[in-house]
Structure 1
Amino acid sequence: MNNTENVSSFNRVNIQSNMKDQKTFKVFIVEDDLWYSSMLEYYLLLNPDYVIQKFDTAKSFLAKLHEKPDVVTLDYSLPDMNGDLLLAQVRESSPDTKVIIISGQEEVKVALDLLKKGAYDYIVKDEDAKDRLWNTINHLRETVELKQEIETLKEEVTRKYDFSNAIIGHSQPIMRVFSMMEKAAKTNITVSITGETGTGKELVAKSIHYNSPRKQQRFVAVNVAAIPRDLLETELFGHEKGAFTGAISRRIGKFEEASKGTFFLDEIGELDINMQAKLLRTLQEKEIIRVGSNEVVKIDVRIIVATHRNLLEMVRAGTFREDLYYRLLGLPINLPPLRERENDVLIIAKYFIDQFCKENCLNGKNLTTDAKKKLLNHSFPGNVRELKSVIELACVMAEDQDIQAEHLNVMSQNAISDFVMKDVTLKEFTTKLIQYYLDKYNYDVLKVARKLDVGKSTIYRMIQNKEVFVNKKFSLEGSFLN
């Protein structure tokens, strides 16, 4: 056994012993010149992550092709099979395997023909061949790993936007939303999402996309309300060079960016009446025309729209086109406000606590009983977005593992009007009103009694019966004992 074979054997043993701990890259060398194949093997094994197998005939190589190597270096002039035919068989049986032709032929026509037939590269057998092969395979490996990382990220995104992971809660209203989302994900039907600000409309749209057949393609979102009206047309449809002052080059619009994927139009109720007509035509004809062009561009996108406004009322008022309304309606999904989702507020709060503590390297925290009651008694006009903000602040304010009611800053200036608008009994309204003033005036019972013109005994009784809550001990005279 010569030195080259000794080194190769030593390297092979080391590689096999470490395969469990390393990310390997499988390379097959198909070469009938045994000295040349050993030279290539020795050179490639300088990278310990490469696993090499050598074959001196096409037959022996094809018998192992089911192992799906990452790369094959293929001698074009094998004794038992034509190089063209062998390349075709590799392309058919293992399409992800990259084939590098290594040949003594220097004819450009042959090289170009093989590249057209699917070869990744063509290397002439000369003194630079091994260096070129080394560089080519290293580049290939980086490309394959990048592709694998992209696929992994896509899988992670899909898991992230799994319905049960993306939308947290177990209440009946949210279960109905899950049911509608599942129906939406199975087809390309247009989806219209309605709900108050902060209920998670874009999250629902992304979840539908990443659970649909289009999940491998792009999800493109545009907030109509955030783009000036005079810029919206070029944002959606793109423009040609010179279409207007400042258009120094062609720009692809969002519709084209979303090709084969999903296009999410948020706050669709803010769309200008003139743009509504152009959007309607786009949806009907499935084509767009860039600003400054006469060229028609066909599009294939799935449309999801969202709004916090009542589009049907806008149709009746003449501010939203009726024909566009019915074109966009598709499968309607209404997101319930947080106040109508029963105990979901506590489940979501716990999720936000754990997430914030993990991201900020804090010890775990828990809501006390009084804190939970305070959350349940709040109407959350800002919905989930407001809850997240409240919880993150509470995590910062709580000095130990317990989040107390006093750490929850939930009473907004509009709190009274919020629960006045709800359907509540007189007793419920009275309880919420007194709770609001207790929080506002730092639990000074006498001051609250004077403000509301009620007897202090009424408030004491409500505190004793746990109808309202305070976060400090107090005397019967209404002063607090710290």
Structure 2
Amino acid sequence: MSTPLPVTIFVVEDNIWYGELLEYKLAQNPDYLIRRFTTAQACFEHLGEKPDIITLDYTLPDGKGEQVLRQLKERLPEASVIVISAQEDVRTAVGLLREGAYDYLVKDEETADRLWNTVNNICKQLRLRRENERLREQIGQRYDPRRAILGESPQMQQLFTLIDKAARTNITVSLSGETGTGKELVAKAIHFQSERSAGPFVAVNVAAIPRELLESELFGHEKGAFTGAVARRIGRFEEAHRGTLFLDEIAELDLSLQAKLLRVLQEREITRLGSNARIAFDARLMVATHRDLAREVREGRFREDLYYRLLGLPIQMPPLRERGRDVLVLANAFLRDFCAQNHMAGCALSAGAEQKLLRYPFPGNVRELKAVVELAAVLAEGDEIQAHDLSLRDAPTSSPAGPPAETGPESLRAQTTAIVQRYLDAHNGNILQVAAKLQIGKSTIYRMVQNNEVSIR
């Protein structure tokens, strides 16, 4: 069996002939790097090479098995130690296993084969561990805020500082800002830079779940708790144990559920529907909304006590129109990624296209920019995107000094509808592809089709 990286094995055996036999057997796998030693001291002197596996003769001239094993596990706890002995004493074997030995093999004519199988089993586990470490490293890099969240403006530098501060503690984080500014991306960046990065990141869009199902979604339910509850279901709070729970669009939470959420946060316990048992959880909470929560409190739509419980470290996401030339930094990054993913020749923005992007207020923010640029890459003739390839609605011709007068909800809704329609047309009405490209829920697009806001042509 081969592994992604070479596996270093120390064979510690004072019987030279027997040590050569074990080395010969293991050397049949070219991915195994084998070093052979005849004394414990020689082995200790080379532990800096960080062997993955050590085969240890129980009786060595300079140390008994238990003593040598204990020192090996103290100095190199991650190494797997296989003890090989001529003794068949069960108590000795049990004692060595308790001391941390991976396995205990008795010397006979089949020892080499059994050792081969044991080493292969260790390597399977080692391969999985290395793969998990590689994936964790990739995820950490992906959500390194200075890699995943692009921008050079002063607003973004301030945002990076807040992300760093949030990642160093477990304080609740409340993200606010317009739709499409990247609130969930920031939440992920904080999670994967924090000490909880090995735990799960569980995201829930409160607005996307029907009110009558949301309580079960968050807290879970027992079998028979209500009609249709045919089995126990673990809620999102339990799923996020030892990780982070991200509640997006928290302002849409029903007032009755706000009271239950407040109690859960105070007690740090949840109760599944249909049960009286209290279940403790350990999850960091982050919330996000595009609404002004303070105004929601003043107008009686959001509980004041819950508001202060959730406020924690507030982070205001800057709208794209206030970030200056970050528009071009993001547009070029989106172009590179889109062309690479679709095996297209690289595209560049013409000077006219750049000016058109800089003049446009982007009511849909970064999400809209991504959609516009990707569509332009599809529509462009040749390897340069011209201004006419950018499908912007009612783009102003004045300088990019500020947003146009009309940037209210109706204008934003019209822009969102137009983008979704363009993507449906470009992807032949494939709703799943469009949802993935725009990073929105497919139920949102289905609802827009149902309401005749967009159509599948």
Which of the five TM-score ranges fits, normalised by the shorter chain? 0.7 to 0.9
- Supply the RMSD in Å over aligned alpha carbons: 2.3
Where structure 2 has 5 or more consecutive residues not aligned to the other structure, the ranges are 398-402, 409-457
Q: 1:246 to 1:122 in 2, by over 3 A?
A: farther
| Alignment partner of 2:154 out of 172, 186, 191 | 172
Q: Do structure 1's residue 67 and structure 2's residue 49 form an aligned pair? A: yes
> Helix, strand or coil: the match of 1:252?
coil
2:374 aligned with 1:366 = no
Indicate conservation of the 8 Å contact 2:86/2:107, yes or no: yes
TM-score under structure 1 length normalisation: 0.78
Question: Which residue number in structure 2 is paired with residue 302 of structure 1?
Answer: 284
Instruction: Quote the residue 2:404 is aligned against.
Output: 419
CA contact (8 A) 1:380 1:386 kept: yes
Alpha-carbon contact 2:360-2:396 (below 8 Å) kept: no
**Shift in Å at residue 97 of structure 1?**
0.4
Aligned-residue offset at 1:244: 4.1
Of 332, 341, 348, 2:314 maps to 332
Q: Distance in 2 between matches of 1:226 and 1:130?
A: 59
Q: Which residue of 2 is the match for residue 121 of structure 1?
A: 103
Alignment of 1:307-326 (within 5 A): 307-326=289-308
Corresponding residue for 2:71? 89
Residue 422 of structure 1, CA deviation: 5.5
CA distance in 1, matches of 2:98, 2:65: 14
3-state SS in 1 of match to 2:305? helix
Change (3 A) 1:74 1:359: same
> Given the superposition, is the C-alpha separation of residues 103 and 245 from structure 1 closer, same or farther in structure 2, using an over 3 Å criterion?
farther
Which residue number in structure 2 is paired with residue 28 of structure 1? 10
- Pick closer, same or farther for the CA change 1:188–1:71 going to 2, 3 Å: same
Matched, 1:286 2:268: yes
Q: Does 1:110 align with 2:92?
A: yes
Q: What letter is aligned with 1:311? A: L
Q: Are residues 412 and 232 of structure 1, via their aligned partners in 2, closer, same or farther at CA, if it must alter by over 3 Å?
A: farther
Greater shift, 395-404 or 219-228, is seen at: 219-228
In structure 2, C-alpha distance between the alignment counterparts of 1:126 and 1:399, rounded to whole Å: 74
Do the aligned partners of residues 101 and 251 (structure 1) sit closer, same or farther apart at CA in structure 2, a change above 3 Å counting?
farther
Q: What SS does the corresponding residue of 2:60 show, helix, strand or coil?
A: coil
1:376 maps to a residue whose letter is L
The one-letter amino acid of 1:42's match is Y
What is the CA–CA distance in structure 2 between the aligned matches of 1:113 and 1:245, rounded to whole Å? Answer: 54
Aligned-partner Cα distance in 2 for 1:276–1:238: 16
Task: Summarize the Cα distance change of 1:414–1:376 in structure 2 as closer, same or farther, 3 Å threshold.
Answer: closer
Structure 1 residue ranges without an equivalent (≥5): 1-21, 424-482
CA distance in 1, matches of 2:248, 2:71: 49
Q: 1:135 aligns with which of 91, 114, 117?
A: 117
Segment of structure 1 superposing worse, 330-339 or 106-115: 106-115
State how far apart, in whole Å, the 1-side matches of 2:148 and 2:5 are: 32
In 1: Cα distance, 2:28 partner to 2:113 partner: 12
Counterpart code for 1:196:
E
My pick for the range that moved more, 87-96 or 110-119, is 110-119
Aligned residue among 70, 77, 97 for 2:59: 77
Deviation at 1:414, TM superposition (A): 13
Residue by residue, what CA displacement relative to the aligned partner does 1:151-186 show, whole Å, maximum 9, x if unpaired?
122122222222221221122322332222222122
- Which is higher, the Rg of structure 1 or of structure 2? 1
TM-score (norm 2): 0.82
2:309 maps to a residue whose letter is R
Give the stretch that moved more between structures: 272-281 or 233-242.
Answer: 233-242
Q: Could you tell me which amino acid in structure 1 is paired with residue 293 of structure 2?
A: L
1:200: which partner in 2? 182
Kindly indicate whether the alpha-carbon contact (under 8 Å) linking 1:378 and 1:411 is maintained by their aligned counterparts in 2.
no
Which residue number corresponds to residue 211 of structure 1?
193
Q: Secondary structure at the match of 2:34?
A: strand
Contact 1:66–1:94, Cα closer than 8 Å, also in 2: no
